[in-house]
Amino acid sequence: MAGTGNVSVMNFLNEVAENYPAAISLAAGRPGKQLFESIDAESVSRWMTTFSRQAPVSNLWQYGRTAGIIHELIARQISRDDGVPTAGDRTVVTTGCQEALTLCLPQLCPEMGDVVLVRNPTYIGITGAAAATAVEVHALDNTIVGIEAQIEKAIEQLATEKRRARAIYLVPDFDNPTGEVLSLEERKTILTACARHHLVVLEDNPYGMYRYEGDIIPPMAKLDEVGCVIYLSTYSKTIAPAVRIGAATLPETLFGNRTMRIALFDAIVERKSFVTVNTSPLCQAMVGGLLMERDCSLRDWLRPAVDACRRNRDAMLAQLAKCFPANGVPVCWNHPKGGFFLCLDVPLRFDAQAVTECATQEGVIVMPMAFFSFDATQDHRIRLAFSATEPERIHAGIMALSRFIGRRCGFTGQAHMRLQSPS
Ligand SMILES: Cc1ncc(COP(=O)(O)O)c(C=O)c1O
């Protein structure tokens, strides 16, 4: 299933979850209930009233403006919360980030041989959007040190095949699936390489506000001096996935050319008019009213969800440290400073069959990293989601997973053979 990265993966996981309804899932990258448990019919109605009283829209029940009706509010929220300089007239409201990907990709890669670069492993939403729009994906070579070097190699290799990289998709903050962050230096060197090769960055930032420790690193869109970053945002992790509202914000100029940026914006909006016509004005009004009430900042609103997620992450890290030395299996994992996921390296091939066996024998469902990958480099890794599972179930789930891995690897539980300490 490696590299298919989309529908088949989701179907497979849904099937496993249906077949084992009592199993503990550490597979799904969903927000925890703390995100939306305070939302009730009264607040929804108040937000919609707030929005329709103040916003210049005549009828929320009608078709609406294709590029959206809360573009100004979203632009303000992005600049307040993420520090990205934006403006409503270059922000298109989309039906989740997934639609933004689906609209941008074919516009950035319109010709045969045009390619979008992705990391390996990468988020299945980008491979899915590329498949849906017949855009070719090229995975960076993760055996080379440094993303800039990986980009240079990819560009060189594609040129020999008469293909051309037009864009690169990145989740710089708390990546899905790895939980990793791109450092400030990496962001800057990638931007320099992108400027050199006229490569557009699709910066996807759903998890940026879920930071549990360490200093905020500016988004690439904030560091962008040449006009190469399209900033993708979503309210799926900051309000609720059900609102299905996201946005794509284009830079002021595209590589210094304002006319080109306007043409790209218009083309994206035109494509949207063919795909979803417009994003539901009702859902936009709901989000718009909430943004108005909070002066276009969701940082305070998000605090309970971020606190719960931090607590879950800590519970998972503590339980990993407890279980794996105890059973002697050489396993290591990263220590994500935010987001929803961490990455576990295990001494066995963890594939679809292992998922089913682990669910059957131990009642825990996890996600093989191979599902996000293009080759065999991720075959011995697992993505663990801590976002939506309460600490007690995380404890039980990690314990069960450690039993499964220990048994499969023939460890008896005596030795202490950790490959490396968590960093
Ligand atoms: C990297 C990434 N981008 C975007 C999204 C959200 O997509 P959407 O806004 O379509 O719900 C997710 C959710 O899982 C994600 O992990």
> Rounded distance, CA 347 to CA 419, Å?
10
Closest atom, ligand 1, to C-alpha of 234: 9
**What's the CA angle centered on 128, arms 358 and 241, to 5 degrees?**
75
Strand order in the sheet with 381-385: 332-333, 341-345, 381-385, 367-368
Q: Is the CB of 10 under 6 A from ligand 1?
A: no
Label the pairing between strands 341-345 and 91-94.
Answer: unpaired
Q: What is the pTM of this model?
A: 0.95
Q: How far is the CA of 315 from the centre of ligand 1 (A)?
A: 24
> Rounded distance, CA 16 to CA 24, Å?
11
**What's the CA angle centered on 91, arms 86 and 95, to 5 degrees?**
135
376 to 138, 139, 381: CA distances (angstroms)? 15, 13, 10
Q: Is the CB of 246 under 6 A from ligand 1?
A: yes
Cβ–Cβ under 8 Å, residues 124 and 371: yes
Q: Is the CB of 96 under 6 A from ligand 1?
A: yes
Q: How far is the CA of 204 from the centre of ligand 1 (A)?
A: 8
Question: CA Rg, the chain, in Å?
Answer: 22
- Among protein residues, the one with the nearest Cα to ligand 1's atom 16 is 176
Pocket test for ligand 1, best of 13, 176, 287 (most atoms within 8 A of CB): 176
- Which pLDDT does position 369 carry in this prediction? 97
The residue assigned the tokens 């091939």 is 349
- Which pLDDT does position 1 carry in this prediction? 47
Q: Is the CB of 205 under 6 A from ligand 1?
A: no
- Backbone dihedral angles phi then psi of residue 268, each to the nearest 5 degrees: -65, -45
Q: What number of helices (H) and strands (E) belong to the chain?
A: 13, 13
**What's the CA angle centered on 387, arms 3 and 39, to 5 degrees?**
120
Closest atom, ligand 1, to C-alpha of 171: 1
Cβ–Cβ under 8 Å, residues 35 and 247: no
DSSP letters, 79-148, are IIII-----GGGEEEESHHHHHHHHHHHHHS-STTEEEEE-SS--HHHHHHHHHTT-EEEE--TTSSSHH
Helix (H/G/I), strand (E/B), else coil: 249: strand
Domain 41-297's class? alpha beta
Q: What is the CATH number of domain 7-30+300-409?
A: 3.90.1150.10
**Total residues belonging to the chain:** 423
Domain limits, the chain: 7-30+300-409, 41-297
Please give the chain's pLDDT, 423 residues, in tens: 444 445 578 788 888 888 888 999 999 899 999 999 999 999 999 999 999 987 666 688 899 999 999 999 999 999 999 999 999 999 999 999 999 999 999 999 999 999 999 999 999 999 999 999 999 999 999 999 999 999 999 999 999 999 999 999 999 999 999 999 999 999 999 999 999 999 999 999 999 999 999 999 999 999 999 999 999 999 999 999 999 999 999 999 999 999 999 999 999 999 999 999 999 999 999 999 999 999 999 999 999 999 999 999 999 999 999 998 766 778 999 999 999 999 999 999 999 999 999 999 999 999 999 999 999 999 999 999 999 999 999 999 999 999 999 999 887 554 333 333 333
- Which pLDDT does position 53 carry in this prediction? 84
> Rounded distance, CA 347 to CA 36, Å?
38
Q: Is the CB of 233 under 6 A from ligand 1?
A: no
Name the percent of the chain in helix, strand, coil, to the closest 5. Answer: 45, 15, 40
Q: Is the CB of 176 under 6 A from ligand 1?
A: yes
Q: Is the CB of 171 under 6 A from ligand 1?
A: yes
Q: Is the CB of 125 under 6 A from ligand 1?
A: yes
> Rounded distance, CA 253 to CA 311, Å?
41
Q: Is the CB of 208 under 6 A from ligand 1?
A: no
Q: Is the CB of 50 under 6 A from ligand 1?
A: no
Neighbours of 375 (CB within 10 A): 15
The type of residue at 24 is I
Helix (H/G/I), strand (E/B), else coil: 339: coil
> Rounded distance, CA 414 to CA 174, Å?
34
Q: Residue ranges of the alpha helices (H) in 208-298?
A: 220-223, 258-275, 281-293
Cβ–Cβ under 8 Å, residues 256 and 227: yes
